Amino acid sequence: MAQIPKIKAKAEIESSPAKVFDFFKYKLKQFPNIYSQVFKKLESLEGEERIQQGLAPTIFSYGIFLGGQKTIYPKLCVWICTCQSNQTMTAKVRTEAVNEGEKSVTFKTIEGDVMQIYTTFITKVTVGDGYVIWTIEYEKANDTAPIPDNYTTLAAEITKGLDAYLLSQI
């Protein structure tokens, strides 16, 4: 059995790890407010009642837009697809796991544009003291699909932006 490839990105944070972890568990719907130039929508499809109970939503969808660019980054700005300019891309993502002990949330893309490029696309966000690590597991749909290494740069940028936002909320 072949091993699924992984790539990682690590970004420093100044915010409390608990605040960052809570954001990824409960407040993903705020991304369009924080990054309106990229995120056009992010909505819970299943599990809204779980948020009210202090649990992570089970399934959500997002739409993002990067106008005038050939590279589009969907799903928490972690996925990259090459497509025409000025398009909104969508994906349906399921929260696979929340690990309170290691402060991680794992998301699996189950439908959408990225699934045309990768048959498997799983993102794990792990929050530590002073850093966030993004781990992306992927399987290419075919030999022409790119290695998603460009996602790591964007993941770091998203982390820095989220950190600045959370620090401004003090």
Strand 6-12 to strand 131-140: parallel, antiparallel, or no bridges (unpaired)?
antiparallel
Over the stretch 16-72, which tens digit does the pLDDT of each residue have? 999 999 998 878 777 777 876 556 666 666 555 554 555 554 554 454 443 333 333
Superfamily, domain 6-168: START domain (3.30.530.20)
Instruction: Give the domain ranges of the chain.
Output: 6-168
Q: For residues 157 and 160, what is the distance between their CA atoms, to the nearest angstrom?
A: 5
pTM of the model as a whole: 0.77
